[in-house]
Structure 1
Amino acid sequence: MDYLRPSDLAREHGISTQAVRNYERDGFLPLAARTPTGYRTYTAVHAAALRAYLALVAAHGHTVAGQIMCSLHAGDLDAALTAVDRGHAQLLRDRATLDAVGAAVKHLTSTSGDAPPAPAHREPFSVGALAHRLGVTAATLRNWEAAGVLAPEREPITGHRTYGAPDVRDAELAHLLRRGGYPLGHIATVVQQVRTAGGTRALSAALDDWRDRLTGRGVSMLHAATRLAGYVDLLDLAPAAGPATD
């Protein structure tokens, strides 16, 4: 078996040898064997693990990438694949939201002051229900409200916030742009444009930029899936696959 040094793994990716050691320490790489003098010795399996981890970082972010690799090294393939599935589901939801907002923009540019269409919901959401839908905390929604992003109504007696269909639309848009790195002040302006059927130039630019980001993330997920599948094969964790069903 050919052994590799930390510097061999680091050089391929342009990272430091300390980063390689840190990834091993955090469980993102399998534990390395040691020479009698204490030096780490890596193998092709470690090299494949590092390629998979860095590809996952580009596709899913550091936190999820770490969770996936730690799950694999614990022998829990299902947990790793569930994390991957969540990432794909979020990407699909982002695309659907983006399409809905894009339709709203077309509506804005083809009408004279009418408010954009909002998604239909049978009953208003509570702050907890809307937070659960978006995968954020109730405190996050309150912060968005304080920044002018959301403007929910209040129950007359209890004073509890209620989020109707337009509020849900605004929250979905805010969540989308927030993940794109936009500050709350900018998001508040964009949401206000949708609300009031004002100018759409800033909104269109923001959506074009985010569509490019989603496309890039989707391509990164394809690359990450290839690296991850190869690493899972090396670990021999996957059961024999049956034919796909429609």
Structure 2
Amino acid sequence: MGQNLQNRERLRPVDLAREHGLSTQAIRNYEEAGILPAAGRTPHGYRTYTPAHAGALRAFLALVPGHGHQTATSIMRAVNRGEADAAFRLIDESHGQLLEDRRTLQAVERALRDLEPTTGPEPRAGAGPSAVSGPDGTFIGPLAVQLGIRPATLRAWERAGLVRPRRDPKTGYRVYGEADLRDARLAHQLRRGGYLLEQIAPLIDQVRAAGGLEPLEAALSDWRGRLSARGRAMLAGAAQLEAYLRERRA
């Protein structure tokens, strides 16, 4: 591709930068990162770019909103190395993550529809931390395994007010009743949806206080909207990437 680039219309770094409101340093950084193909050089050593470089920049900037900066960078590097299949695999993985996030949202919505305000029963005295879930409550280890997280994460959620387990009066072990399990599952699903602990805490407080799920409707609607925006951004990124691939083949 290098020889073809040299024979096409020459563009300066500032020409690429102006189209997107970037600095010329950003253009150089993108080139060094492999997002843009290597630039040509004038006899005096100045960088020269071509419409293909402009297409690469458009493709990258269009990919970022849907795939994120890191994945978009990896996609462009693969394309510029001539490894289109590797780039397509990255795109497939990103689409797979979006699908998984949609399934997560659906799971949250289903879980919320089934949730009822409950009070967990008193834990069984003398039970050890390795006890499994039962009618008297769940200990931190088994709950962490159920959620696929570390016990330290549950302790962090407790400090943030997301869960409020009781303490066994004899052993001091944390015991999670039904309401605590509900709150932990909600926190886990919302964290997977990209919400911060400080955003989740008031939602769970409102669910506790109101005894219902209405306070979460706005959050779920926002989450749904962000997933749709990512899907559309992926379509826009795909269109620009295809245009760049055609430019490289020309």
Same fold (TM over 0.5): yes
> Could you give the per-residue CA deviations for residues 134-168 of structure 1, whole angstroms, max 9, x where no partner exists?
xxx88666644543446799xxxxx9x99x98555
Deviation of 1:201 (Å): 3.9
1:45 to 43, 49, 52: 52
Aligned to 2:189: 172
Write the distance in 2 (CA, Å) between the matches of 1:26 and 1:150: 43
Q: Does 1:234 align with 2:241?
A: no
Write the distance in 2 (CA, Å) between the matches of 1:88 and 1:140: 28
Deviation of 1:114 (Å): 5.5
Q: Does 1:13 align with 2:20?
A: yes
Across the two proteins, how many residue pairs are aligned to each other?
Answer: 212
Write the distance in 2 (CA, Å) between the matches of 1:150 and 1:64: 34
2:94 to 83, 87, 109: 87
Aligned to 1:218: 231
Aligned to 1:130: 148
Aligned to 2:211: 198
Q: Could you say what secondary structure the match of 2:34 adopts?
A: coil
Q: Does 1:65 align with 2:83?
A: no
Which sits farther off after the overlay, 216-225 or 139-148? 139-148
Deviation of 1:76 (Å): 2.6
Q: Supply the AA of the counterpart residue of 2:190.
A: L
Q: Could you say what secondary structure the match of 2:102 adopts?
A: helix
Q: Does 1:187 align with 2:205?
A: no
Q: TM-score when scaled to structure 2?
A: 0.69
Aligned to 1:55: 62
Identity of aligned residues (%): 49
Root-mean-square deviation over aligned CA pairs: 3.5
Write the distance in 2 (CA, Å) between the matches of 1:104 and 1:197: 17
Kindly report which structure 2 residues correspond to 1:108-119, keeping only aligned pairs within 5 A, or say none. 113=117
Write the distance in 2 (CA, Å) between the matches of 1:152 and 1:74: 53
Checking the alignment, whether the CA contact within 8 Å between 2:144 and 2:154 is kept in structure 1 is no
Instruction: For structure 1, list consecutive stretches of 5 or more residues without a partner in the other structure.
Output: 116-123, 132-136, 154-158, 237-246
Instruction: For structure 2, list consecutive stretches of 5 or more residues without a partner in the other structure.
Output: 1-7, 120-141, 167-172
Deviation of 1:189 (Å): 3.6
Deviation of 1:80 (Å): 1.8
> Could you give the per-residue CA deviations for residues 149-205 of structure 1, whole angstroms, max 9, x where no partner exists?
46799xxxxx9x99x9855564223221xx2xx431221343466688734343111
Write the distance in 1 (CA, Å) between the matches of 2:112 and 2:151: 28
* Structure index of larger Rg: 2
Q: TM-score when scaled to structure 1?
A: 0.70
